[in-house]
Structure 1
């Protein structure tokens, strides 16, 4: 992304690759027939980036990080994200609106990128969150006209934005390796 901390660059790139893999996987819950190959290809690319940059993260773990002195806040943000996603999904399930769960989790993830960008001192992370929020607003309008699970639309949006961000992160990080 856009950080001066090499370790954070490697880790964010690896994490975005892994999460692209996860979102493309969730997309395959009920995919459009024409998208299946692309969703699979996105998963493979995401996990490849995750492995490569996971190794770079591990071998550069002794490098400085923007999170130094902020680990407690990072933990609070992570717990808040997980609780918000879980409680929202529980409420959606109880209301018979389970098909919205993927969209809800995607929304929580996108929103959490905004304070995370402050913790990481990385405006690139905020940009990803803002793009995702805009795309999820469009997805929400489309979901109101169908009974399909939201993973069909939210998954590809999240997977694609995270994979693209991981690819950009990889290009920016490689000269630093």
Structure 2
């Protein structure tokens, strides 16, 4: 779904790793019956990461959008987003609203996909980001008065959407490669 094969393969590998991270964060305070599903999601993420990590290595010499200009744009965008996530979490901590940190980081990540589409030319990333932003807005409304950490709901939303995108992207990548 990205323009260049190497970037597409790496994206599936990275999304596998990130799916594992989000499913893991969801285990901070999960409903007991969901824990096996969260573990299964993490395992699927690791398998996706490993498989496409190898495939990326086989195509490492292929062209990438991260030429000099692309690397600079990517670095600036990621730097801004890391700062936004950190500052937002600091604000939530100071306000005594630590439970919202996972939600805030997820918002930054979802918006991050919109900027990645611009850098890599993968317009499916726009769809992913918009689906996540809509889901996060709905979750914020639904869980506003609850006491559990937001990771309980945000982790599965982000994990599932990232894993599904990584799998679909992987199939498309293999079909092209």
How big is the shift at 1:145? Answer: 2.4
Distance in 1, Cα, partners of 2:83 & 2:63: 29
Q: How many residues align?
A: 176
Deviations 1:58-88 (A, max 9, x none): 2211101122231101000111111111111
Look up the match of 1:102: 102
Moved over 6 A (4+): none
CA-based RMSD: 0.9
- Quote how far apart the aligned CAs of 1:176 are: 2.8
Task: Give CA-to-partner distance per residue, 1:117-158, whole Å, 9 cap, x none.
Answer: 110011011111111001001110112121110000111000
Q: Does 1:133 align with 2:141?
A: no
TM-score, normalised by the number of residues in structure 1: 0.97
What residue number does 2:76 align with? Answer: 76
In structure 2, how many angstroms separate the alpha carbons of the residues matched to 1:111 and 1:173? 24
Pair 1:19 & 2:54 matched: no
SS at match of 2:133: helix
Question: What residue in structure 2 maps to residue 54 of structure 1?
Answer: 53
TM normalised by structure 2 equals 0.97
Render the CA deviation track for 1:29-83: whole Å, top value 9, x for unaligned.
0001121110000000001100111111122111011222311010001111111
How far apart, CA to CA, are the structure 2 residues paired with 1:111 and 1:175? 28
Instruction: Give the whole-Å Cα distance in 2 for the aligned partners of 1:132 and 1:102.
Output: 13
What are structure 2's unaligned runs of at least 5 residues?
none
- Cα distance in 1 for residues equivalent to 2:57 and 2:85: 29
Q: Secondary structure at the match of 2:62?
A: coil
Which residue of structure 1 aligns with residue 31 of structure 2?
A: 32
Counterpart Cα distance in 2 of 1:142 and 1:38: 22
Listed as ranges, the gaps of 5+ residues in structure 1 are none
